[in-house]
Structures are given as C-alpha cells and as structure tokens.
Amino acid sequence: MSDTMPEVKIVIRDDASLRVDGGIPLFDHEGNEIPTPDGRPYSLCRCGQSERKPFCDGSHKTCDWDSTLAPTS
Ligand code: FES
C-alpha cells in the first residue's frame, strides 16, 4: 500500500453489517450522494431490518436472519 493512499476496505462482519472504511463515498440509486461520517468508518445494513437504511442501527442483533455467505469458487 502507498504511503499517500488511505487504506480502503469493506469488511463483511459476522452476523452484522458491512463496515466501510477509508472515506468511500456512498450514493443512492439515482446518483445522489448520501452523507457519511467525514473520514470515519460507517456500517451498512445487510440484514434488511434497520430503521436507518442504508446504515446499520443495530437491529441485526434482535432479528432472526441468516448471514451465511454464499460459497465462492
Ligand atoms: S446489519 Fe445492522 S441493522 Fe441490519
């Protein structure tokens, strides 16, 4: 990794959200930018139960959902 480039990554958290790190901008389906915490990591819901979509609000902790990833090959 370059000294001038921040580490950019998306982590699929076990039984939880997608953790986005590195100042990645977020856009809706029409191309409108969705405000994110300036330069700080944020979490995107993947359980579908958040009241703050697309962001995680912790609802994944109380709903019954399967976070198993599809096999890759
Ligand atoms: S993943 Fe956290 S509320 Fe959906």
Work out the pLDDT band at 73, boundaries 50, 70, 90: confident
CA nearest ligand 1 atom 2, residue: 56
Q: What residues does ligand 1 touch, defined as CB less than 6 Å away?
A: 16-17, 45-47, 49-50, 56-60
Return the structure tokens found at 62.
């109380």
Is residue 68's pLDDT more than 70? yes
> For the chain, what percent of residues have pLDDT higher than 90?
73
Distance from the alpha carbon of residue 66 to the mean position of ligand 1, in angstroms: 12
Helical ranges in 1-73 per DSSP H = none
> For the chain, what percent of residues have pLDDT higher than 70?
93
Q: How far apart are CA 61 and CA 59, in angstroms?
A: 5
> pTM here?
0.87
Tell me the average pLDDT across 10-21: 95
